[in-house]
Amino acid sequence: MEVLIAIVIVAAVAAFVSVPLRRARGEHEVEDAAHEAVVADLEARKQAKYREIRDTELDRAAGKLSEEEFVRQDTELRAEAIAILKEIDAVSKSAARDAAATRDP
């Protein structure tokens, strides 16, 4: 009977102690999913911006845009693409720092 009570107490303590560990793992999974969603959105924006750049180049080649208009649009689109790339880089570095911080005690 005493052995059974000891086993029950040990099991209760183990369950109580492991709750934060299980919760922390779940929170990290949520953070990872959020990070992946942000990166996916930024990647989609990047691809859309690249398509716009290609379309502008095709419009110039087809004679739909003057050289001045092409230069203006191309400069603007490339600046926007660079800003998106910097956002992707910042999010990736932030995620890497967060991952390193959670691994190191």
Question: Which pLDDT tens digit goes with each residue over 13-67?
Answer: 777 777 666 655 555 666 677 788 888 999 999 999 999 999 999 999 999 999 9
CA 50/CA 12 separation, integer angstroms: 57
Contact 77/105 with Cβ under 8 angstroms?
no
Segments in the chain forming alpha helices (H) = 2-61, 67-103
Residues 6+ apart with CB under 8 A from 49: 77, 80, 81, 84
Pick the residue with more confidence: 89 or 100? 89
